Amino acid sequence: MQGDDMTESKLGILCDLYSDIVPRSQESESFYLEILVACHGSLNAAVEMINESLGVCRFPNGLQLRKRKYDGSEESKGVRKIQRSLNYFITDSNNRIRAVSDNSGGKISSNPIELFTKEDIEANVKYITFHRNALPEPLADSLLQHLVQDEDNFTPNQFHLFGKKCTSNHLTKMFSSNEDILLGRSKIYYNSYTRTNVAKYDDDLKMAQLLIEDQVNETIAKQDPQPFQIRCPDWRGDVVLVNRYDRDSNLDWHSDRMTSIGPQPIIASLSLGCVREFRVRRTYPANSQVYVLRPPHNTLMIMHAGFQEEYKHCVHAGPKNATLEQHPISKDIRINLTYRCYLQTYLRNCPTCTKCGSSMDLRRAFKDPKTRGQYLWQCSRGYKGEDCDGVKRADFQNECLTVRNYKEQGSRWLAPDDNEARNAQKVGT
């Protein structure tokens, strides 16, 4: 084959390989050409770069790829540059999901916007960082294998919706390496229920804990801390809730409860196996933009301080009978490990309701801009649909975690970009 023909055929291969994500056009072809030139004509290297950028693992027939990792090298900087440029070509042919590059002027679109790259995710969703290839590959694969095979004590979650008791359609199991929790000396309180049956970390989980703790602590050390968050190096991953989804299961919109993990919690979420849509949106206004993320196998998403206060998230229920891209180890099963750092102050000093003696849940007011930002303890019976409206203002500087008298000012936090609440409350920026 002549040089030009060879380039043409490589271009054709690239166009075909990604045609469902990047629609074929003159522009996308010339962009692939740029990538090929940057890779000195190597189809193998071009495919690796594009795979990395799009978070997919595809290869043309007969081509073997090795796994790459961002490592700060020139080559890996190239991937970042390509990520930025690729976004301009990505649209969804059914217009169901739009690429962020289509979202001119930052207006709210009624269609969810898909975010493909680390750069786009971190630029559009505040308080999230996205880390591909979080664990060494053999460890991620082994964790997935074990958790898919583990049949013991994976149970549906119980929760309440509009006062009605509901059961999740996905399964969960809690693990810990903390002796107090394993022996029941510290109670884990999750979704207003005490979580018994906490299993002990095996060697893989223990290794993952250490690596994820390092990753989270290193990441938070580089950021300006929020007022109530845990600081580096104190974030711990000694408790994990494992979520298991099959093709028919999902998780509805929610923010994680702060009751035992405190305000502005940092939650690390590791995705393994089959890729599912993880959706996020601001808690307010009601029509806030929905973004779609698709964390591939072995991706760590760190939900930083402020995320639970300002955003909701869900694992989207795809259309019935939709075909999911099968993962080589887990087929259509997705495993998610959600690490929450439980805090002794909150485990021990959680207030009880003065009206009925029940436990209380920590919440942050957000609906009314006049009171948005105030942290409150609310009677958990209310959440369960029972009749108690007990409420206390939270004060995190105080041993009891509450103000002495409801009229006193308690702890509060407004997001730096929340001008609506600042105006309503006439507070400075």
Q: Which residues contact 148 (CB under 8 A, 6 or more apart)?
A: 244, 273, 329, 330, 333, 335
Nearest-approach distance from CB 207 to ligand AKG, in angstroms = 21
Identify whether the C-beta of residue 52 lies closer than 8 Å to the C-beta of residue 71.
Answer: no
Can you give the C-alpha Rg of the chain in angstroms?
23
Decide which of Fe ion, ligand AKG, none touches 269; Cβ closer than 5 to 8 Å per partner kind: ligand AKG
Decide which of Fe ion, ligand AKG, none touches 266; Cβ closer than 5 to 8 Å per partner kind: none
How many residues bind Fe ion (CB under 5 A)? The answer is: 1
Q: Is residue 275 near ligand AKG by the rule CB under 6 A?
A: no
Cα separation, 375 vs 411, whole angstroms:
6
Nearest-approach distance from CB 266 to ligand AKG, in angstroms = 14
Q: Is residue 278 near ligand AKG by the rule CB under 6 A?
A: yes
Q: Of 176 and 336, which CB lies nearer to Fe ion in the complex structure?
A: 336
Nearest-approach distance from CB 363 to Fe ion, in angstroms = 15
Selected from 118, 294, 313, 412, the binder of ligand AKG by CB under 6 A is 313
Q: Of 256 and 418, which CB lies nearer to Fe ion in the complex structure?
A: 256
Cα separation, 375 vs 264, whole angstroms:
11
Cα separation, 223 vs 231, whole angstroms:
10
How far, CA to CA in Å, does 172 sit from each of 29, 137, 168, 311, 406? 45, 24, 9, 22, 37
Please state the three-class secondary structure of 125-157 as a single string: CCCEEEECCCCCHHHHHHHHHHHHHCCCCCEEE
Identify whether the C-beta of residue 140 lies closer than 8 Å to the C-beta of residue 272.
Answer: yes
Nearest-approach distance from CB 308 to Fe ion, in angstroms = 8
Q: Is residue 338 near ligand AKG by the rule CB under 6 A?
A: yes
Nearest-approach distance from CB 267 to Fe ion, in angstroms = 7
Nearest-approach distance from CB 159 to ligand AKG, in angstroms = 10
Binding positions for Fe ion, 287-316, rule CB under 5 A: none
Q: Which residues contact 323 (CB under 8 A, 6 or more apart)?
A: none
Binding positions for Fe ion, 211-270, rule CB under 5 A: 256
Q: Is residue 315 near ligand AKG by the rule CB under 6 A?
A: yes
With vertex at residue 63, the alpha carbon angle to CA 57 and CA 67, rounded to the nearest 5 degrees, is: 45
Element (H, E) at 158: strand 155-161
Tokens of 38: 């940057």
Q: Of 92 and 256, which CB lies nearer to Fe ion in the complex structure?
A: 256
Q: Of 48 and 256, which CB lies nearer to Fe ion in the complex structure?
A: 256
Selected from 133, 226, 243, 358, the binder of ligand AKG by CB under 6 A is 243
Q: Is residue 241 near ligand AKG by the rule CB under 6 A?
A: yes
Nearest Cα to 390, choosing from 345, 347, 359, 346? 359
Nearest-approach distance from CB 338 to Fe ion, in angstroms = 6
Q: Is residue 251 near ligand AKG by the rule CB under 6 A?
A: yes
**Residues binding Fe ion (CB under 5 A):** 256
**Residues binding ligand AKG (CB under 6 A):** 241, 243, 251, 256, 269, 278, 313, 315, 336, 338
